[in-house]
Amino acid sequence: MLTVSEVRKAYGGKVLFDDVTTTFDPGKRYGLTGANGAGKSTFMKIISGMVEADEGTISIPPNARMSMLHQDHYRHENDRIRDVVLMGNKRLWAAMAEKDELLAAGKFDDEIGMKLGDLEVVIAEEDGYNAENEAEQLLIGLGIAKDQHEEPLSTLDSGIRLRVLLAQALFGEPDVLLLDEPTNHLDVDSIRWLEDFLHQFRGVLVVISHDRHFLNEVCTHTADVDYENIIVYPGAYDMMLKQKVQYRIQEEKSNSAKKKKITDLQDFIRRFGANAKKASQASSRKRQMEKIQVTDLKRSNIERPFIRFEPKIPGGKLVLEVDGVHKSFDGETVLKDVSFTLQRGDKLAIIGPNGIGKTTLAKLIAGEGGDYVADRGKLKLGHEVSVAMMPQQHEEGVHNDDDRTAYDWLYQWDEKATVQEIRGLLGRMLFPSEDADKPVKALSGGETARLLMCKLTLLGSNLVILDEPTNHLDLESIRSLTEAMQKCEGTLVFVTHDQCMLEEVATCVLELKGDGGFDFFPGGYEEFLTKTGRAKEGVYAH
């Protein structure tokens, strides 16, 4: 059990949460939710001991082991990948390392023999003789092949290193497991594997994620950071939203009734307070009024951007023809003879493992040029088709050293737009006037993502390409983006690991495979899973 008692934390005068008292029980899986900046990561760091609370205490049972996912991909970069995972159990790793050191020294006497015996006991207690096999299974489940396990961590790309650090956090059956954005840099198959793994976890799980499907699939409870408090609801994310809205409506109705009662009592006291015959009644009503407690309903920190992708002109019925496209880098084939067509209104999801070529194909369609020109084959846009793209790496669209304000940066894309139009668009995307005047280089990840979506809205292109558009967005912004994609009357090509977005938006699916191969499926994502045998009774199979 993890116990939180009267915890408070504030930064710069802003209260994140106050007087939080709750328990997190073994066998239950808690999603920690809230808007960007609400304090989710801060609360998790308080639980882990990395950050001190202003007030209150955190406690776990003696000898209970806590494990946390670290997002620093430079940690352990010179260590072997398998060893990085084993380090997740500090007691076991220390015993194994000391044993190896004693054996390597080659000196044996009674004292060293006794020490080796003690170390063997620790290793046995921590299931050390199965540790390498467990580490191997974790790594394979997260998409890291067995032939890489003996390599140093530095040989992996930064995104794949985070998978190793996730395996480290999962290793050794910790009693308390803290995961901050564990699905970052995971492909869909690895996310499904992680979901299955966490279903079997018997300790306390607290997880932060912007993946709604993942939260709904994994969590039994939701701890929501809002109203300067953390309230634990039974059920996963979608169920929490319903309960939260119902609770707020009930409290507002209750407050309204209480205020009306107070007004009625005040009116009686004002009319008859000076009347000797009714003085006792007036006193009684005054006592009643003093007992009425109106709940202090603090303002929610959740805001939803208003996102729309509305084409300025519809364009032709045939939007895109891709015929026999081939692309390779440094002699390695990424795309081989890829062919498909898109009609107006199609919403194409490009899926496949990380590194398979999804971003490459998106950039080829966008006509980026440079390194992103097909080696052979044809990509042909239809009549009056205009293209706009939101890149996965936001710095490709908004340079981090740009001194221009958000307003000035956006204005460059349509200099015929009025000040009111630009300011209004920014306001709908959660940029109040003071934030619209912030330098681009000072924007947060979420603000940069929303600014790029402002650009797409302003351009009004009829073919919109979105490469991992949920990066840096909170759950409410992702829901708003998903709804905008559903309502878009133009054509969409998108790459995402967000399963809710795949299920709710895609009208056709392009799956990229190894050696540059592909399959094009003219139907929705759930139908694609069923047809390819990857869905069974509502549970995704491996």
Between CA 344 and CA 278 the distance in angstroms is 77
**Would you say 84 and 153 are in contact if contact means Cβ atoms under 8 Å apart?**
yes
Q: How much is the pLDDT for 297?
A: 67
In the numeric block, the tokens 């330098």 are attached to: 439
CA dihedral of 468, 474, 477, 483, whole degrees rounded to 10: 60
Contact criterion met (CB below 8 Å) for 176 and 64: yes
Q: What does DSSP assign to residue 50?
A: S
> Can you tell me the distance from the alpha carbon of 345 to that of 514, in angstroms, rounded to the nearest whole number?
29
d(CA 444, CA 406): 12
Report the topology of domain 318-540.
Rossmann fold (3.40.50)
Fold matches, 1-64+175-261 and 318-540: yes
Cα separation of 445 and 112, whole Å? Answer: 54
d(CA 505, CA 438): 33
Is pTM, for the whole model, over 0.85? no
Closest CA to 517 of 373, 341, 357, 380: 357
**Ordered DSSP codes for 239-254:** HHHHHHHHHHHHHHHH
Low-confidence ranges of the chain (pLDDT < 50): 537-542
Which pLDDT value is given to residue 58?
A: 95
Which pLDDT belongs to residue 425? 95
Q: Which residues contact 134 (CB under 8 A, 6 or more apart)?
A: 127, 171, 172
Tell me whether strands 2-11 and 66-68 are parallel, antiparallel or unpaired.
unpaired
C-alpha span between 224 and 212 (Å, rounded): 14
1-64+175-261: CATH superfamily: P-loop containing nucleotide triphosphate hydrolases (3.40.50.300)
* 386-408 pLDDT, tens digit each: 999 999 988 888 887 778 999 99
Please state, in angstroms and as integers, the Cα–Cα distance from residue 146 to each residue in 76, 88, 135, 371, following that order: 19, 19, 10, 32
Domain map of the chain by residue range? 1-64+175-261, 81-171, 318-540
Q: Are the beta carbons of 288 and 265 closer than 8 angstroms?
A: yes
